[in-house]
Amino acid sequence: MSNNSISQEHYKYLKKIKRRKQIISITQVTIFILAIILWEIAARLDLIDTFLTSSPSDIVKMFVKMVEGGDLAYHVGISIVENIVGFTAGTFLGVIIATALWWSDFWAKVLEPYLVVLNTLPKTALAPIIIIWIGTGYQGIIVTAIITSVVITIMNMFNSFISVDEDKIKLLKTFGASKLQTFTKLVFPQSIPAMISTLKVNIGLSWIGVIVGEFLVSRAGIGYLIVYGGQVFQFDLIMMSLFILTIVSVVMYKLVSIIENKYLKWHQ
């Protein structure tokens, strides 16, 4: 088989993979659009109670109204800032603690049962206590977001650190590498895929912390809009807030996926 035929087969394979991804994307978008259309039809034919479920057209009207009033950008901006700060701080703090546990096997053994308990404990149950301790301002919401993501980061990163091939670590030690060099040259680089996966998980966890915090004390943000909409029975506002929350979460997830793809290409 010639090199030309090999490259041609490889080209066909790549084209097939690309076409499959396009079909999947088109199908996903089609399902979403059909669901919106059926929802609107059901609302207009009175097949569903729009007081409880709203409708796409009413949600769009609410969206336009809030955009024109300038309120939407304010509320969404506050929630995004809270999430980014909590998400970043939770991930960074989790990596630092996981590194410390890898560095000291003694403290890793001592703290292991506490981490297991914290990992199984619903973090949102701690939100009222955290807000009382920290305060009812933005700092309480941000700390709640940090708490919801930091434990899972510690667990994932520490497990990734200790899963590095022991033979490779022994080889570096044989050549006189220090513990710091072993970590920076081997352990941490091999754990970057695990960290990227953890980032994807932390996006959702941080949003849970932010929204729960805003439910409790905030006077602004997406969580506040949801609570306010429920209090005044304005379900258009609730559904619009949920849609915006979904879109922002997907955008953040896609950004992490782009970073992951860039890393994988560079690594290859």
Percent of the chain with pLDDT over 90: 7
**Per-residue pLDDT tens over the stretch 166-211:** 888 888 888 887 888 888 888 888 888 888 888 888 888 888 888 8
Which tokens is 156 given? 């994932």
Give me the pLDDT at residue 268, please.
57
Alpha-carbon gap, residue 143 to 135, rounded angstroms? 10
**Per-residue pLDDT tens over the stretch 95-146:** 999 999 988 888 888 888 888 887 787 777 777 788 778 877 778 888 888 8
Give me the pLDDT at residue 3, please.
47
Alpha-carbon gap, residue 30 to 42, rounded angstroms? 18
CA angle, 149 as apex, 110 and 185 as ends, to 5°?
Answer: 70
Which residue, among 262, 101, 119, has the nearest Cα to 196 in the 3D structure?
262
Q: Are 110 and 104 in contact (CB under 8 A)?
A: no
Give me the pLDDT at residue 34, please.
94
At 103, which amino acid appears? W
Higher pLDDT, 240 or 121: 240
pLDDT band for position 267 (50/70/90)?
A: low
Give me the pLDDT at residue 93, please.
92
In this structure, of 31-40, 81-90, 218-227, the range with the lowest mean pLDDT score is: 218-227
Q: Are 194 and 109 in contact (CB under 8 A)?
A: no
Q: How many residues does the chain have?
A: 268
C-alpha distances out from residue 196 to 35, 99, 258, Å: 32, 16, 11
Give me the pLDDT at residue 1, please.
43
Q: Which residue is listed with tokens 């966890």?
A: 205
Alpha-carbon gap, residue 148 to 206, rounded angstroms? 6
